[in-house]
Amino acid sequence: MADSAENQVFIGKKGVMSYVLAVVTQFNTGVKEVTVKARGKAISRAVDVTEIVRHRFLADTKVKDISISTEELSSDGGESNRVSAIEITLSR
């Protein structure tokens, strides 16, 4: 399964449909909101996941909020890298 915390699905390197399934599964537990999160190149995939969920699986879901930010990741060597991030909140 895709990584998922409480009402959250974090998009990584798996196929898009793994994450679509994770989002749909969370909604099927009865929650009203699920947040799709991604960093760096996975941001495009987060948008794909959101679009597939609302157009093909759960037509009653809406994009409630989208926010973007910059996160600082520290590597093992102590250097820090900045990476863009997105959070898409879906509600039904």
Positions touching a second copy (CB under 8 A) are: 40-44, 47-48, 50-51, 55, 63, 66-70, 84-86, 88
Q: Which residues of 41-58 are buried (b: 16+ CB within 10 A; e: fewer)?
A: ebbebbbebbebbbeeeb
CB of 30: closest distance to a second copy in angstroms?
25
Between residues 2 and 90, which has the closer beta carbon with respect to a second copy? 90
CB of 62: closest distance to a second copy in angstroms?
12
Other CB atoms within 10 Å distance of the CB of residue 32: 11
CB of 20: closest distance to a second copy in angstroms?
13
Residue spans of alpha helices (H) in the chain: 16-28, 42-52
